[in-house]
Amino acid sequence: MSNRQQARGAAAARSKGPRLWPLLALNFFMADFQAGIGPFLGVFLQAHGWLDGLIGTVMTAGGIAGMLVIAPAGALVDATPYKRLCIVLLGICTILGSGLLLLSQNFWVVIASQVATAAAGTAIGPAIFGLTLGLVRQRGFNRQLGRNQAANHAGNVAGAALSGYLGYVYGLNAVFWLAAGFGVATIASVLAIPADAVNHRAARGAKIEGDGAGEIGGLDILVKHKPLLILGAALCCFHLGNAAMLPFYGLALVARGAGDPAGSVAITIVVAQAVMVPASLLAARLVERGGSWPVLLVSFLALPLRGVIAALVTARWGVYPVQILDGIGAGLQSVAVPGLVARLLDGSGRVNVGQGAVMTLQALGAAVSPLFAGWIAQLFGYGPMFLALGGVALVSSVLWLGFAPALKPAERDADAASGA
């Protein structure tokens, strides 16, 4: 290679690098505002006299709303060139929805708030994946996912730590104002990404050159793709056991006098998210070397163990083993799942609607989880509830092991076809 070619290559690398910094900033700041008050919702409502059953009910209402919009949001991300505008509008909707809780704690107002924040917060996911794929293409997707998720989890650590401190000093209302500030920073970050830097065919997983470059696959691929369906079913069972574990562990600590509401919930978030930072970076490397199947198996096996520990230890120090396992499982999945979907559907032009379909099944499990956990906790106590959540999650591991002969070859074929 000549010196001139080397110089052009170095210049191209330098021109490509800066546009990814706004993407990392976007993932960092969106972490705190994406779900509004998020895990603090339970203790916020508990402080206003709500019982566990109703708390679980409103969480489930929000989860169902999120579930219903994810796949259509993925289809919209595939179809529109205005991906940055989608993220801006969803961010504004999340901030306004969270603000409703400050105005009233009436049941129907809380329901409306959770529906708005959950729908907007979950719809942002496919938009971020599409934006990332359009910037770095298929070959760089897994590694950039690791960086994105590390930034996202770091943002969660910062947001949770600040939320815990501000909530302790100024009350839980301060958590909303912090989330609003992160929302403004998120909007600024996405607008800093140049619009012409995003290749919209690459962003939807369509072929850019060669045979079939103008073709877009039909939506029937989502129901005919067996590995995709197995992945979705396993994740649905996982999130049925996982989604309620964090908020209800925080409730259990507060109910037993193990800490103040804001501080206890903040600790649970900080511990898990701090572990997710290295876990997501490690996941990107492990997926490149050995594929997604073993990475996801480890993530599935972490949850039953987490449920047993949560049931046996409801004390301040129990936060650490319970949430370290959460960080391992969620950190590995945050990279392995979207990376696997992108590779399985590469060339179809339906990557983001596929991401949305898998996320819909995740959301289905997550939506039912608080309702399931809330009523078990109210009727039988927190210990049996944590064991029930961990037991449900065992189904994920059984599915993943049982269908390994179909999953492993599909992933290898997808890698070979995409050159990943």
**CATH code for 19-200+220-418?**
1.20.1250.20
C-beta of residue 97 within 8 angstroms of C-beta of residue 113: yes
Calpha distance 301→309 (Å, rounded): 13
Residue 14: the pLDDT is 41
Q: Please report which residue ranges of 80-172 form alpha helices under DSSP H.
A: 83-103, 107-136, 141-170
Nearest to 346 by CA among 235, 230, 210, 233: 210
Q: Number of C-alpha atoms within 13 angstroms, CB side, residue 368? A: 13
Residue 297: the pLDDT is 92
C-beta of residue 305 within 8 angstroms of C-beta of residue 243: no
DSSP code of residue 347: B
Calpha distance 337→126 (Å, rounded): 12
C-beta of residue 117 within 8 angstroms of C-beta of residue 56: no
Residue 33: the pLDDT is 62
Predicted TM-score (pTM) above 0.75: no
Q: Where are the domains of the chain?
A: 19-200+220-418
Residue 273: the pLDDT is 79
DSSP code of residue 80: -
Calpha distance 355→232 (Å, rounded): 10
Calpha distance 338→26 (Å, rounded): 18
Per-residue pLDDT of the chain (420 residues), as tens digits, is 444 444 444 444 444 444 688 888 888 888 766 655 666 677 778 777 787 778 878 877 877 887 788 888 888 888 888 888 888 888 888 778 777 777 878 888 888 888 888 788 778 888 888 888 888 887 778 888 889 888 888 887 788 778 777 877 887 778 778 877 888 888 889 898 888 888 888 887 776 554 444 444 445 566 667 888 899 899 999 999 988 887 787 777 777 665 555 566 667 677 877 888 899 889 988 988 888 889 999 999 998 998 888 888 876 777 788 888 888 988 899 888 988 888 888 777 778 888 888 888 888 888 788 888 888 888 888 888 889 898 888 889 999 998 888 777 777 766 655 555
Residue 262: the pLDDT is 57
Beta bridge partners, 206, equal 347, 348
Residue 417: the pLDDT is 53
C-beta of residue 233 within 8 angstroms of C-beta of residue 393: no
Specify the residue for token string 């983001």.
352
